[in-house]
Structure 1
Amino acid sequence: MLKPTVGPIIGHTTTNHARIFIRGELQKNLQVFAGLRYRASNTTQWSNALLIKLDESRDLSDVFILNDLQEDTEYEFQTGWFCPMSPVHTVDSVAELPLQWPRELYRLRTRCNKPLQARAYILGSCRYLRLTAGVPILPLLGDRIFTSINQLIEGAQPPISATVMSGDQIYADDLNLIAPDRSYKDILCKYRAAFSQPGIQRLMSGTSTYMILDDHEIEDNWPANADAADAADDELYRNAMAAYELYQVSHSPAYALTTNGQLDHASLEHYWYQFSEGDIEWFVTDTRTRRNLSGDEPRILDEAQEQALCNWLINSAARVKFVVTSVMFFPDRQLNGDDAWQGFAQQRLRLLETVRTHSIKNVVVVSGDVHGSLTSRLSHSEDADFEIHTVVSSPLCNSKLLPYAKASTFVLDQPLVRTAAGDYSHELTSEVISEDNFAHMVVEADHILINYHDRDGKQLQSIAIKLR
């Protein structure tokens, strides 16, 4: 059995369930199978082997589902792929073979449902990895920050529950004006290269990773730059989404399980999803593929997603509610801000009014996109009980051709929006970081601590958000 060519990627994990993505490789037109076995750490008895036949239609990748796990328990697992010589093997018949497992052990920890327990997360977005002819150029630059994240995770207390990547995990367009990636084959190649670099591979093989796309998984400022009458743009979108579903969505909660506890490949209805841990809940929005730019009121979320988000905000009993949006919720930009929530003012106001009129506490918006990191606070002139915080973490690795955001990038000297019921005004609660960075966020009983670190792991600043 050989090590995965991509992965393992630990995805959605609950108190009793985990999803693990791996990819194999085609060899001499033989059938390809993948296997995984696991056990609670410090025990000796392995589970029965989980086996999957890998298919070229899924780029020889798939997701193992681990069910009936114990809460707040560390497990270790081995996984890999193999090609039996006989062309007539099935999943049942290869189970009888004496498999030689790869020696490497990976570890995961199931969730704990205890309330008020401190929990920690890694936040980041916008990871640029330049490829030429399918080969990474200076790959250490695009992977360097993940080595620093791994070093922080090793000694982190509380332990890191998950990494949340809020967009632009790849740059499919890659600023390549000569031959931008548009084919399915080329975009798959980009994912394989991006997710198999040693630093990010180590991170995702040991920590649950949740992802949502932004524009560069397709094309810069998609869909504003798309031509509805252009068949090539339609083909680009289909190719980009097919690759995205394999490498980012497949191990997320967006897919349902079948009645026998396996991944239901036919169940994907939308890319937005929710997950939770104890008294902390997350709503990860899709602010890219359900946009409607026509009509009197442009929408960044489709109607069903907006309604689901509002219902969750109103009805969830979570102590802290994190809303992930790949583009900035606030503050607005001085220039070219219409790609973010600034361009969808009516829908944004409806969400703000939902939070304010229902007196919803401890709402924090997590985003990326702007190639600068910051925290900010939104208040209301006539409602002292209202506040929403944003935590922005971007970029993990910038291109030298793209500028970093600065404080002067944002509109900070006037209210975000004026209404008859009062003004929504915002302020920065941190400095704006204008370099490659990631955020280490710790949710305590009475506050959230956000520590920003540079690509070498050095702490840049620390911000505390008081919980109510």
Structure 2
Amino acid sequence: MLKPTVGPIIGHTTTNHARIFLRGELQNNALVFAGIRYRRLGDERWSKGTFAKLTPLRDMADVIALNDLAAGTEYEYQAGWFSPMSPVHTVETVQELPLQWPREIYRVRTPSHTVTTPRAYIVGSCRYLRMTLGMPSASHLGDRIFASITKLAQHAAPPISALLMTGDQVYVDDLNIIAPDRKLKEILRKYRAAFSQPNIKTLMSSVPTYMILDDHEIEDNWPANKSNDDDYLYKNAIAAYELYQASHSPAHEFLANWQPDQRLKRYWYQFTEGDLEWFVTDSRTRRNLSADDRRILDAEQEQALCNWLIHSPARVKFVVTSVMFYPDRKTLGDDAWKAFPEQRLRLLETIRTHRIKNVVFISGDVHGSLTSRLTHSDDPDFEVHTIVSSPLCNSKLLPYAKASTFILDQPLARTAAGDYRHELTSEVISQDNFAHLIVDSEQIRVSYHDRDGNQLQSTHIKLR
């Protein structure tokens, strides 16, 4: 067996289930299979291999689900791909072959059942990897920060439960001015390059990774900048996104046999760890820009989000939106929630009138990081927080956000019932960085780190 050409990437992981993405390579039209075997840390005997048949229709990649795992347990696993001699093999018959597995051993930990266990997460967005003639140039710059995240994760207490990548994991449009990539094979090549760099590959092979797209997975400021001939681009960009980012996410719901449903109905999804819940929104592909019903989330998604906010028993509710919920930018803000004030106000009023506590919005996009608190002038019980983390790696062509980038001297919204007012609770970080979140019984500690892992600042959000 050979090492994966991309991956392994650990995706959605529960107390008894893990999804692992990996890619092989086409072998002269011969059959190709990918496989994974695993064991508890400390055990000698490996499980039987679990296999998937790889096809060119999926870029020789697939997701293998591991089931019947134990909660709060660390596992070792091996992953690889091969082409058997016989052209009649199936995923069942290859289990009987005497395979020589790649020597590299990876680790994954399932979350604990214990509700009160402190949890930790890494949050980041906007990872620019410059491509020249289909190859990454100066790739060490786009990969450097992931070595620091891996080092932190290897020593973190509590252990890192997940890596949240909240948009612009791949810049499909980085050469739009010179030679735009529009063909599927060109976009897939970018994904392979982006996810096979050594440091990000090491990180994603050991930490469950949850992703959601933003505009650069398609085109800058999509769909506002959409032209008449962009349907072809969108079709190919979305096909690549579904394969490399959505395939291992909870967007693929469980079937009765605890296998992921191959049908993908939507890109937004939810997941739970203990008494913490995450609602990862698709704030990019379901937009309605018409004047009579402007929406950043479609009606179905908005209703699902409101129902979750109202009825979920979670102690802390994280809402991921790739673009900023607040504060608003002074300029270039029409790509974010600033341009959809009616829908934003509906969400805020839902939170306020139902007295929902400990709602935290997580976002990226702006190439600057900050935390901010939102209150209401006439309702002392209302409080919402936002945590922004961006960028993991900036382009030299794009500026970093600063405090002066944002509208901070006026209410976010005015209503007959009072004003929504916000204030920064941190400095604005204007350099490459990532956020480390620790959630315990009393607070969320948010620490930002630079690309070398050095802590830049730390803030605390008190839970109610």
Asked if TM exceeds 0.5, the reply is yes
What CA distance in whole angstroms lies between the structure 2 residues aligned with 1:432 and 1:20?
Answer: 36
Among 226, 234, 237, the residue aligned to 1:237: 234
Secondary structure of 2:101's counterpart equals coil
Deviation at 1:117, TM superposition (A): 1.6
Q: Deviations over 1:76-118 (max 9, x none)?
A: 1111000112222222232221100011111111111212221
What CA distance in whole angstroms lies between the structure 2 residues aligned with 1:328 and 1:175?
Answer: 25
Residue 134 (1) aligns with residue 134 (2) = yes
Aligned to 1:409: 405
Aligned to 1:340: 336
Secondary structure of 2:334's counterpart equals coil
Deviation at 1:428, TM superposition (A): 0.4
Q: Which runs of 4+ in 1 moved over 4 A?
A: none
Deviation at 1:390, TM superposition (A): 0.3
What CA distance in whole angstroms lies between the structure 2 residues aligned with 1:319 and 1:89?
Answer: 49
What CA distance in whole angstroms lies between the structure 1 residues aligned with 2:23 and 2:86?
Answer: 21
Q: Deviations over 1:157-179 (max 9, x none)?
A: 10100000000000000144111
Residue 66 (1) aligns with residue 66 (2) = yes
Secondary structure of 2:113's counterpart equals coil
Deviation at 1:260, TM superposition (A): 2.8
User: Aligned letter for 2:260?
Assistant: L
Residue 425 (1) aligns with residue 421 (2) = yes
Q: Is this contact kept in 1: 2:48–2:95, CA < 8 A?
A: no
What CA distance in whole angstroms lies between the structure 1 residues aligned with 2:91 and 2:354?
Answer: 53
Aligned to 1:265: 262
Q: Deviations over 1:424-457 (max 9, x none)?
A: 0000000000000000110011000000000011
User: Aligned letter for 2:277?
Assistant: E
What CA distance in whole angstroms lies between the structure 1 residues aligned with 2:174 and 2:142?
Answer: 13
Q: Deviations over 1:44-70 (max 9, x none)?
A: 121111011101100000011111111
Matches within 5 A, 1:125-274: 125-227=125-227, 230=228, 232-266=229-263, 268-274=264-270
Deviation at 1:296, TM superposition (A): 1.6
Q: Is this contact kept in 1: 2:175–2:181, CA < 8 A?
A: no
Secondary structure of 1:221's counterpart equals coil
Secondary structure of 1:384's counterpart equals coil
Among 280, 304, 313, the residue aligned to 1:317: 313
Q: Is this contact kept in 1: 2:75–2:107, CA < 8 A?
A: yes
What CA distance in whole angstroms lies between the structure 1 residues aligned with 2:313 and 2:261?
Answer: 29
Residue 51 (1) aligns with residue 48 (2) = no
Q: Is this contact kept in 2: 1:113–1:279, CA < 8 A?
A: no
Q: Deviations over 1:362-396 (max 9, x none)?
A: 00000000000000000000001101000000000
> Which runs of 5 or more structure 1 residues have no equivalent in the other structure?
none
Q: Deviations over 1:248-268 (max 9, x none)?
A: 0000000123333323212x1
Aligned pair count reads 464
What CA distance in whole angstroms lies between the structure 1 residues aligned with 2:175 and 2:33?
Answer: 36
User: Aligned letter for 1:121?
Assistant: Y
What CA distance in whole angstroms lies between the structure 2 residues aligned with 1:94 and 1:465?
Answer: 52
What CA distance in whole angstroms lies between the structure 2 residues aligned with 1:25 and 1:133?
Answer: 21
User: Aligned letter for 2:45?
Assistant: Q
Matches within 5 A, 1:341-356: 341-356=337-352
Secondary structure of 1:94's counterpart equals helix
What CA distance in whole angstroms lies between the structure 2 residues aligned with 1:257 and 1:116?
Answer: 26
What CA distance in whole angstroms lies between the structure 2 residues aligned with 1:67 and 1:461?
Answer: 39
Among 288, 294, 309, the residue aligned to 1:292: 288
What CA distance in whole angstroms lies between the structure 2 residues aligned with 1:92 and 1:282?
Answer: 36
Q: Is this contact kept in 1: 2:182–2:236, CA < 8 A?
A: yes
> Which runs of 5 or more structure 2 residues have no equivalent in the other structure?
none
CA-based RMSD of the aligned residues comes to 0.9
Q: Deviations over 1:171-217 (max 9, x none)?
A: 00014411111110011000000000011001100000000000000
What CA distance in whole angstroms lies between the structure 2 residues aligned with 1:159 and 1:243?
Answer: 31
What CA distance in whole angstroms lies between the structure 2 residues aligned with 1:87 and 1:113?
Answer: 44
Matches within 5 A, 1:97-136: 97-136=97-136
Q: Deviations over 1:249-307 (max 9, x none)?
A: 000000123333323212x1100000010000000000000000013231000000000
What CA distance in whole angstroms lies between the structure 2 residues aligned with 1:262 and 1:303?
Answer: 29
Aligned to 1:375: 371
Secondary structure of 1:150's counterpart equals helix
Q: Deviations over 1:107-151 (max 9, x none)?
A: 111111212221100000000001111110000000000011111
What CA distance in whole angstroms lies between the structure 2 residues aligned with 1:93 and 1:437?
Answer: 47
What CA distance in whole angstroms lies between the structure 1 residues aligned with 2:296 and 2:363?
Answer: 14
Q: Is this contact kept in 1: 2:278–2:319, CA < 8 A?
A: yes
Q: Is this contact kept in 1: 2:368–2:431, CA < 8 A?
A: yes
% identical equivalent positions:
71
User: Aligned letter for 1:235?
Assistant: Y
Aligned to 1:11: 11
Q: Is this contact kept in 1: 2:279–2:305, CA < 8 A?
A: yes
Secondary structure of 2:289's counterpart equals coil
What CA distance in whole angstroms lies between the structure 1 residues aligned with 2:332 and 2:394?
Answer: 19
What CA distance in whole angstroms lies between the structure 2 residues aligned with 1:321 and 1:59?
Answer: 36
Aligned to 1:449: 445
